[in-house]
Structure formats: structure tokens, C-alpha cells
Structure 1
Amino acid sequence: MSDQKQLHRDTIGLVRAFACPACGSFAPFEATACSACAATIGLHPPSMTMFELGNDGVDIDGRCWIRCTQSVTLGCNWLVPEEGDDARGRGRCLPDSLIRREPDASDTVAREKLVPTAQALRRLIYQLLDLGLPVQPFWRADGPPGLAFDLLSSYSERERVTIGHAGGVITIDLVESLDAYRESLRVRLGEPYRTMLGHFRHEVGHYFQHILVETGSGADEYLAECRALFGDEQASYAAAIDRHYRFGAPANWAESFISEYATMHPWEDFAECFAHYLHITDTIDTAREAGMVLQADRVRFAAPRDVVPLECYDDVPVERLLDDWSWISLFFNRVNTAMGKSPLYPFTIPPPVVTKLDFVHRVVRASARERRAG
């Protein structure tokens, strides 16, 4: 085994802080070349690490891996086998193969907005794979309904593109990649947080509620508990939308919900909690891999203990995850405000939401264990 391969095998646990395989410098998630030594690099999905590429790709365990065909058009740095296994996905990495509809090549304005949107999609899929959740492509006939993404532009389509989920298909409006447009919507809707990655995380929550809670192998165990926590998802969604946009959230919503939008319908409550679970776990992982530790004896306020993010929260109660998060988010919020920006995580998590996040935590971890066992 080459030294490069051995390096990657030894660092598989570091899933978000990537290093250049040539010089060891920090490599951003989207990097196609090392900024320090200019080595050409790409992300190898099975090991979730960076490899250095030659003109003909890179040999990994006797198989040649090359750039995703969307490396030029979408800025993708993922690697794919030179000889793909699936006709529909051949040449495209897994995230890019999930794009069912996208703007025509002649629509250069919309295609420009597709690039950052596809980057957010790759971040989503990477995290889902890292958590051990099933990512079934829509173009495979076997298994539960597969994931598909329609990435469209309301400017190009000349009609409103509604962000949402239906039957495994997640629709995203590319116009939301425009900061000014997205910020104006955030302010108009009274939201404290609105990002493209946040949209992906919320909408994929609907998908996983359907395949893991409502119809999956654990439905008999989960569905009654889910309804007790979030409400009956069989309630009229149309009526819930009308009520929400006519009257808004209940006056005391912050006592039981993570956001005002979560109050609209049980499906939205679950999706919001699922999205926040992804926000929290991803940010904690990022902090851990940066070596961030809160030392209680060095801060200027009372802290009950050192806060050392765990390598894995699989086998601990969600309360440990959220307690670590309360201190880590406090730090990040203060950093943001020190720069004159809004807090990074402008949310509070009341006890009922802790219980809801615990449910999401258990469903996600159980799904991962089931996949590993299978």
C-alpha cells in the first residue's frame, strides 16, 4: 500500500477537516487544488478523504477514480469510478446524480446559480452518508422511494417555484442562492435564519420522516411516539397553511417549538427539528476537528466543566449533545456579534424541543445501526 493510501486509511475518522494528501495543509471541502502546494485533489466518497490526482485520475485499491463529469459545469470535486456501476449515475457523483431537473445549458443565468446550490447539496449528502442515513437515488428501482432534486429557477421558469418535498422529490428555487433575495424573504417572513443548506436540511427531513418513521421497518415503534410528540400528521395540510399565514404562530410558541414555522403542521415541526439536528451535529463536528475545547478555568464566566466535543454521540443521551452545543453555540454567537453580525445560532431549545430532538437522534442512530448490521 502506498504512503498516500496509508495516510488516508489512518485519517478516515476526520470526516470534515480535510488535509492535502501531498503536503498535509488544510483543504476546504470544495477544494480541487491545494492552495499551499497546488496539488490537484479530489474527494473520495468511500473513505471520505482527499486524494491527489494525476492526469489519468488516481488508483485506489486497484480501481481508477476520476473527476465527476460535473467538475467543470458545477465545480464538483468528488471522484467517481472510471467504470461506473449504474447507468443513470455513470460519470456523476452521487449528489450530482440525484439532480433530476436543472436549468437548460442555454440558461446561463440560472446555471450560474446552480453552482452554489449544488455545493450545498453535496454538503447535505456528505453529512447524510456520514450519519449512516440511507441515500437511495431516485433512478434505482429497488428499495424505498429514492431521493431526487429539482433545482429550478423561478426567474427562468417565469412562474413561482415552490420549495418543498413530495414523494422523495425535493424542489429548490435557485433564486434563493441570491443573498439579497433570500435576505429580503427572511426579513419579510420574520425568520431568524434562512440559507440554501438550511432548505436542503429541512426538506430532506420530510423525506426521512416518511421512509424511517411513517413507512420504514421501525414504523410500528415510531409512529405513535412521533404523533404524541409532534402531532397527527394526518391533519389537513392545506388548512394548516391557511391558518398559519392568516393568524401566524401561537403567542406561546417558543415554549414548545424550535421555530414559528414548526407550529404550522406536525410535518413541519418534525422537519424543522430534523434540520436543527443536522445543524447542530455538523457544527459540533467542525468545532471538534478544529481542536476547539472550552476550558472552564480560562473563561471569564462560570462554566461547570470543560467542554470537549465527543468523537461520536451515538451512545450518549441527546442531552449531552445539546449541553455541549449550548456552550459551543454561545462561543460562536459571541464571535459573530463581535464582527457586528447576527448570532450564528439564534434559537433557544426549550425542554419539549429537547424531547423532540431526542426522538430524531434515536431514529437517526437506529437507522445507522440497522444499515451497518445489514
Structure 2
Amino acid sequence: MNKPKIVVLGAGYAGLTATRKLAQKLSPEEAEIVLINKHNYHYEATWLHEVAAGTINHNQARYMISDVVNPKRVRLIYDTVVEVKTEDQRVVLENSEVEYDYLVFALGFVTNTFGIKGMEDNAFFIQDIDSARIIREHIEYKFAQYSSGESTDESDLTVLVGGGGFTGIEFVGELAEKIPELCKKYDIPRNKARIINVEAAPSILPVFEEDLVAYAKKSLEDRGVEFRIGAAISECTEEGFIVGEDNELIKAGTSVWTGGVMGSPVLGKSGFEVFRGKVNVDADLRLPGSENVFIIGDCSWTMDKETGKPYPPTGQLATQEGAHVAANIKNALYGLPLTDFVFDNKGTVASLGISDGIGNILNGVKLQGKPAAAMKKVVDDRTLLVVGGPKALLKKGKYRPF
């Protein structure tokens, strides 16, 4: 009898956690495990705003997959997924094809521009290591151009950030740390460089209570961040964003869109029913109507039975889904019933720069300022430990013992 083959697509938080848990739960005799990822490294998606601002080096935000997954136990394939053909249990890659008995679809997110005119062509996106590095380099290039006299347009020193959600606010928090450094480096008066956040909704950071949001907004404003709240972006041009009912042009040297994500486009290409960019999965995280395909992380909507709404897509949700899928696949292999996924929400913390933040943890304990910033580092390190294990934590952790 052939061993069942379990194929995991994507080595983000969900996919890498699923792979590592499967390797722990199943012996080589019980199942063959295959992990397919575009790159040979995993990156901390929740750290990308720091890479984009230049407050951490891009290498700190990533580690080699082979460092945390034993290639003797898990077959590692570095290739791009083109399509999943569920009718014959096959994954089409750019350079080959792979058959599966069980599939874990965890290909992560791409940016969703919601059809805003010009956004695709004229804005930068924080969606992977390379795109984050390009933003950092572009911002510094604009400062260097202005400093050298090659550019005399002060708007080149403006960084415009569309979206007041988690990524957008954490990004402007890092920019509030970085921009003064760039001004000093290039001998540019700080008041000439601007950081502007534009949000169509009436408030930023919708996952937090009003008092924490008010603290975050004031903290960022005190460090030079400007907010345009309740200002919808109708278009992104080469010069900047066109916002509001009066079609005001806000000019900037760097325009970054952080206003939304959706699951991998491979979902649609594979014929899965997609709702607002993701698949609504069953309570056990399977594709509806499927016995052997699981969809997790940023590619799925997982419903909270109490509220009837999907859980917000976070790193902790993705890692918990990855662990749950590994347990369910083991159950399936032995003919045991699959269990429904229940999210254990450990709270939410947002950074507002290196030494500031807000948080809501442990059933309503609120944090702000340095305690929140410290907790954010704890959360980041815990994720490293859960997803990559002790080796990843020792190499890349934000709290160093020495």
C-alpha cells in the first residue's frame, strides 16, 4: 500500500506551522509530506512594515525553510503554484506537477486595490520581502535626490500611506522613527518631510477601542504624522492620491497602499468559489464539498460561531489553523472524526514605532506606550517560536539574552 502524500502549498505562518506539526505527528512510515513554496525562505509577514520603513534589515525578517524543516523528513520544492486540479488531485507548478492525497492550501495574500484607479500602476505595496525592500530604497532615493539638488520638489519628501488599518498604522509608526534619521543623514530640515495617512473610514484601527485609537493617533501626530480620515481615495496618480469629494491631489514622492489584501489568485484559477477574495471554509477548515482539501490563513474566511462573522486575518489565527489542520489530517488518516476549529484569541497588539504601541490582551487588559511595545516584541518572538521553533527564535528574535 502506498503511503498517503500530504502536500502543503505555501510556507507562511499557516503553511509552515502545518508542515512542522505534521512532521511531528506523523512518522515517515505513516505519510509523505511535501512543502511547496516560491522562495527557499519564510518571512515574517507581520514585520514587513519595519522592512519597508527601514527600521530593521530585511534579513532579520526571514529565515531559511531548511533551517526549521528537516529536508530528510519533508520534501521541499521551491516553485510557483499555477493551479490546483482537484478532480485528479494534482497541483500544477511552473516547472512540474505534484499529486496529492491531502492538500493544505496556504498560499497567503496579495494586495487588494478594490479597483481604485491607478493604484496598481502608481503605488507601492507591502506584500513580501522584495516589495518592502523596494519601498525602503525608494524613500531613501527621494531624500538623496533632494539633498543633492537633483530634485527641488519638496513633495518628494512626503510619504503617503493609503489605509488606516493595522499595516498602514504600524508602517507610519516606523516611518515616524525613520524619517528623522533620513533628515539628519541628508541634512534636510525635519519639517520639510511629511508622513500622511489617508483613510476613507471615520476612524483608524477598527479592531481597537476608541480610547486606544485616540492614544495611537495623538502619539503619531506628536511625532509628525498627519491624518486625513474620512477621505476616500478616488485615484492614485504618479504625483500622489486624489482624495475626498473635492478631488484634492495630495502630492508625494512615495505613495504606499496598505488598504486591503485578498487570498492568492490561484484560488480563482483553480475554480474555487471565492467570496471577497477568499474561500468560505467549513468549520473543520476544509473546502466545502471536499474530503481532502484544507484552505487556511489569508486564503480563507473562518467563521466565528458566536458573532457569525469571520475572524480577522492575523498571524495568530494562521498559526492556530495550521496546527489544527495537522491534527485533522492525522485524524483523517486513521478514520477518526475531524474536529471544528475554534480560535483562541490571545489579544491584539499594534506597534507605533520602536518604543510605543497599543494593545488589548488577556480578555480586556489594555496596554499603551512602552508596555505595549514590549508586549509586541514578546508576541513577535512567540510567533517565531511557534512557527519556526527554537532555532528561528535564537537567530531572529527581537529580545536578545545578551
TM-score range, shorter chain: under 0.3
Report which of the two has the higher share of helix: 1
Q: What is the TM-score of this pair, normalised by structure 2?
A: 0.23
Higher normalized contact order (CA 8 Å, seq sep 6+, divided by chain length): 2
* Greater share of residues in strand: 2
